[in-house]
Amino acid sequence: MRRIIRGLVAIAALWPLASPAEIVRLDITERVPAFAGRSFGNVGTYERITARATFALNPADERNAVITDLAQAQRNADGKVEAVADVVILRPTDANRGNGTLLLDVPNRGRKLAPQLFDDSAQPGANNAEKVEDAGIGFLHRQGFTMVWVGWQGDIPSKPGQMALAAPVLKGVTGPMREEFVFDNTTNPVRAPLTWPAAEPANLNVTVRAAWADAQQTPPGLSARLVDANHVEITRPEGFDAGALYEITYTARDPAILGMGYAAVRDVVSFLRHDETQANPMLDGLHPSVSRAIGFGVSQSGRFLRDFLYLGFNEDLAGRVVFDGLMPHVAGTRRMATNVRFGQPGRNPRHPQDPAWQADLFPFTYASLSDPWSGKTDGLLRRCSLSATCPKVMQTDTEHEWWASHASLLVTDLAGNHLDLPDNVRAYMIAGTPHFAGPDELMRKGVPAMSLPQNPMHAGGPLRALLTDLNAWISDGTKPPASRVPMRAHGTLVAAQGAVPTDIPGLPYAGIHTLAVFSDQSVLPPKEIGRYPVFVPKADNDGMAIAGIRQLALAVPRASYTGWNPRAQGFGTTALYPLQGAVVPFAPTEAARKEVHDPRPSNAERYADDGAYVAAVRREAARQVAERLLLPEDAERAIEAAKQGRLAKLGQ
C-alpha cells in the first residue's frame, strides 16, 4: 500500500511550475510519516517528503551570471541551463503547529549534520528520520521548525545517505589540476581518489615534502601512476614519515558546473517560501506555512554559506531575501573552491596543507576591507548590501577554528588591528571544543597520530541556545547576546607564541597554527606573495581559552580542554592533527599534582566534595541561562550529568 501511495504522490507532483525561483518541476517520490509517528509536544507528528527539484537558469540574468561556465553549458529549448537537486523536507504534519521558520541544513558532503548538533541524534538515523530514536532529543521538532536539505554538491553521486546535484558537464574541456594528500599511514604503494578524471597519464606528476614550509622534492623511489581515470597510486620513498605531504598535478577533464549548487539552494528555498501553487508541499491553504528562513551549515557547508552570501545568492530572482538569518558553523574565515572550473568543494586544507588554497582567499570577514596584497576592497556583505538583501548572521566556531582556520581574521583588519563586526553580525567561539564531536563521545586515548587524548566536547548545548536566539532575532527583532570571541582590544586574541602556558605536564605547546597567505593562483603550484597576521585565543593558567562561550565542563572544570592537538611522532610533528582538540585531566589531589609538578590546582583543591562540584555547576548553569547562552532544559541535563560524574566526559 505504501508503494502505491508513493507512486501516486510522484505522479501528482509531475507538473510544470510557474515560479520566479526557476524551479520548473518538483518530483515528490515519497511522502511518509517520520520517526515512526513519534509526537513532539504541542507540535505533534512530522512527515518526511523526498523529492527532486529540476531548476533552469538563465545565464543572462545578472544574479546567475556570477556562476562560472554557466554560459558555456548546453541549454534547453528555452535557452536555459538545467540541473536537478535532491530535496528532503521534514515538516509538522499539522502545519499550523509549526513555528513558521524553515531551517535549511546545507548537506556536508551529502550528509545531514544539523540533527547531530541540535538533536543529539546519531548516524545513520540522523539521515533517515525513520525510527523513533532517529530524532534524538527532538529539540528542532518540539520547536516546530520545518527542516529542509538540498543537494548542492555536483562532484559526488546521489545515493542513499548522500544528497547531491546533477549538474551539467562540459565534455571535452580540460585544464590543470592539483591535489594534496596526507595519508597518516605507511602503506606503500598507496591509492587515492582524484576529484576529476585525468585526461592523460603523461601529465601526471608527484612531489613530497615533510611539511608545507619545505621545498617540494622528487627523491628516488617516489612515483605515481594512474590506476584508472579517477584513481592514482603513489609509490612512497624512504625518509618520510606517515604525515608527509604528497602533491599530485595532472590534466583533468569534463568539469561540472559546480556553482549551480548555490542557485539550487536559493531557488528551492525561494520556491518553498513563496510559491502558491499546489506543487509546493509547504502550501497551507492559500499560502506557504513558512514565512522565515534560516540557513545552517557545518564545516564544508558552513563555508558554503559564507560563499553563498559573498556571491550574492541571498537575493532571489524576484529581488527578495532568501535567508533572513544565516548560521555558518565551524567555517572559520574560509570560503570554498566551488565556483571555479575544476573546483574542489570537498577539499578543506588542513594543517600542514596548503594555506593558500582557494578556500582561503580574501575577503575573510563581513565588513569591507582593503587588501594590501591584491589591491581590492571587498567583504562578505558587499553584494547583499547593494541589493538590500543582507541577512542577520550568527557565525559560530569551536575553538579549533581559531587555531586551524585563521578565525582571528573575522575580528581583525588585515594589519592585525581590532575590528568591530557589523550590526547585523554576531560571532561566538565555543571554547575548548574540537571541530566536531558527537553527543556521546568520551575522551579517547592512544589515537596513533595524535600527541594527546582526544577532546570529546560536543557543541550542541550552546548551538541550541544560539539558534533560539537567532530565530527570535529574525522573528521579532530581539537582539541576541553580544559576540563572544577573543578580541585584540580585550587582550584575549594574541600572537601564537606565549598564548598558552608551557609549564603544564602533558600539554605541550609550540605555537603551531594555520597561516593565512595571499598567493598567485594562476600558476601551479601557487606562488606565495604575502601573508596576513593571524592570532590565537589567549589561555588561562589551566591552558584553556579565556574568551568565548565556556560550556559547563570548562567553566567548572575537572580537566583542561583545548581546540588543538599536535601530531604525534612519526606523523608530522610540526603540524596540528586535523579537526581535533585535546583534554588533559587534573590531578585528583594536591599531593598527586605536586608529584608531577603540575601547576593546575587538583580536583580536591577546587571542590571540597562532589556536592560542592555539583553546586558550582548549578550556579554557572543559572548564569548562562540568564545570559541566553544555555537553555533551561540543557542546564538541567548538565546538572544531572554532573551528579553522575559524566559532565567532564573523561570516561573511566
The verdict on 346 and 368 lying in the same domain is: yes
In-domain check, residue 92? yes
The 3-class SS string of 56-107 reads EECCCCCCCCCCCCHHHCCCCCCCCEEEEEEEEEEEECCHHHCCCEEEEEEC
pLDDT above 70 coverage of the chain, percent: 97
In-domain check, residue 596? no
Residue 10, pLDDT > 60, answer no
213-217, 311-315, 432-436, 643-647: range with lowest mean pLDDT: 213-217
The verdict on 143 and 189 lying in the same domain is: no
- Range 308-339 burial, b when 16+ CB lie within 10 A, else e: bbbbbbbbbbeeebbbbbbbbbbbbbbbbbbb
Q: Please, which pLDDT band fits residue 14 given cuts at 50, 70 and 90?
A: very low
In-domain check, residue 631? no
The verdict on 417 and 371 lying in the same domain is: yes
The verdict on 227 and 323 lying in the same domain is: no
Q: Where are the beta strands (DSSP E) in 299-341?
A: 325-329
Among 199, 225, 253, residue at a domain's last position: 253
Asked if omega into 363 is within 30° of 0 (cis), the reply is yes
The verdict on 138 and 37 lying in the same domain is: yes
The verdict on 314 and 367 lying in the same domain is: yes
pLDDT tens, 497-518?
999 999 999 998 889 999 999 9
Q: How far is CA 238 from CA 209, 215, 401, 557, 567, in A?
A: 12, 17, 33, 45, 20
In-domain check, residue 603? no
Q: How many of the other CB atoms lie within 10 Å of CB of 41?
A: 11
Element (H, E) at 562: strand 559-562
pLDDT tens, 199-224?
988 889 999 999 888 999 999 999 99
> Which residues share a beta bridge with 33?
47
Q: Are 340 and 68 in contact (CB under 8 A)?
A: yes
The verdict on 313 and 301 lying in the same domain is: yes
* Residue-level pLDDT at 652: 55
Per the structure, how many domains does the chain have?
Answer: 3
- Copy the grid coordinates of residue 51: 523529492
Q: How far apart are alpha carbons 511 and 352 in whole angstroms?
A: 14
Handedness of CA 333, 337, 340, 346 (dihedral sign): negative
The verdict on 356 and 301 lying in the same domain is: yes
Q: How far is CA 335 from CA 31, 142, 186, 218, 299, in A?
A: 35, 33, 32, 31, 10
Q: How far apart are alpha carbons 149 and 164 in whole angstroms?
A: 10
Helix, strand, coil percentages for the chain (3-state, nearest 5): 20, 25, 50
In-domain check, residue 118? yes
In-domain check, residue 44? yes
Among 586, 610, 627, residue at a domain's last position: 586
Residue 561, pLDDT > 80, answer yes
* Residue-level pLDDT at 525: 77
The verdict on 239 and 278 lying in the same domain is: no
Q: Are 515 and 530 in contact (CB under 8 A)?
A: no
Give the CB-side neighbour count of residue 360, counting CA atoms within 13 A.
30
Work out the angle at residue 248's Cα, subtended by the Cα atoms of residues 243 and 253, and round it to the nearest 5 degrees.
145
In-domain check, residue 524? yes
Q: Are 405 and 563 in contact (CB under 8 A)?
A: no
Element (H, E) at 292: strand 292-298
Phi, psi of 269 (to 5 degrees): -65, -45
The verdict on 478 and 524 lying in the same domain is: yes
Q: How many of the other CB atoms lie within 10 Å of CB of 505?
A: 13
Give the CB-side neighbour count of residue 221, counting CA atoms within 13 A.
8
Residue 13, pLDDT > 50, answer no
Residue 15, pLDDT > 70, answer no
End-to-end CA distance of the chain: 50
Cα dihedral 485, 490, 493, 499 in deg (nearest 10): -120
The verdict on 314 and 379 lying in the same domain is: yes
In-domain check, residue 627? no
Give one DSSP letter per residue of 113-144, joined into a string.
-HHHHHS---TTHHHH--SGGGGTT-HHHHHT
Place of cell 523529492: 51
Q: What does DSSP say about strands 101-106 and 146-150: parallel, antiparallel, or unpaired?
A: parallel
pLDDT tens, 41-77?
999 999 999 999 999 999 999 999 999 999 999 999 9
Mean pLDDT, rounded, for 316-332: 97
Q: How far apart are alpha carbons 214 and 244 in whole angstroms?
A: 11
Q: Could you tell me the residue range of the domain that residue 206 belongs to?
A: 174-253
Asked if omega into 237 is within 30° of 0 (cis), the reply is no
Residue 9, pLDDT > 60, answer no
Residue 3, pLDDT > 50, answer no
DSSP secondary structure code for residue 36 in this structure: G
- Left if phi > 0, otherwise alpha if psi is -120 to 50, otherwise beta: which for 221? left
The verdict on 398 and 507 lying in the same domain is: yes
Cα dihedral 298, 299, 305, 311 in deg (nearest 10): -170
Mean pLDDT, rounded, for 387-408: 97
Mean pLDDT, rounded, for 169-195: 95
* Residue-level pLDDT at 275: 95
pLDDT tens, 130-181?
999 999 999 999 999 999 999 999 999 999 999 999 999 999 999 999 999 9
Q: How far apart are alpha carbons 233 and 222 in whole angstroms?
A: 11
Q: How many of the other CB atoms lie within 10 Å of CB of 592?
A: 14
Q: How many of the other CB atoms lie within 10 Å of CB of 38?
A: 17
Q: How far apart are alpha carbons 113 and 153 in whole angstroms?
A: 15
* Residue-level pLDDT at 426: 98
Among 539, 562, 586, residue at a domain's last position: 586
The 3-class SS string of 188-245 reads CCEEEECCCCECCHHHCEEEEECCCCCCCECCCCCEEEEEECCEEEEECCCCCCCCCE
Q: Are 120 and 492 in contact (CB under 8 A)?
A: no
Q: How far apart are alpha carbons 217 and 240 in whole angstroms?
A: 11
Of 632 and 19, the structure prediction assigns the larger pLDDT to 632
- Copy the grid coordinates of residue 530: 604575502
* Residue-level pLDDT at 357: 77
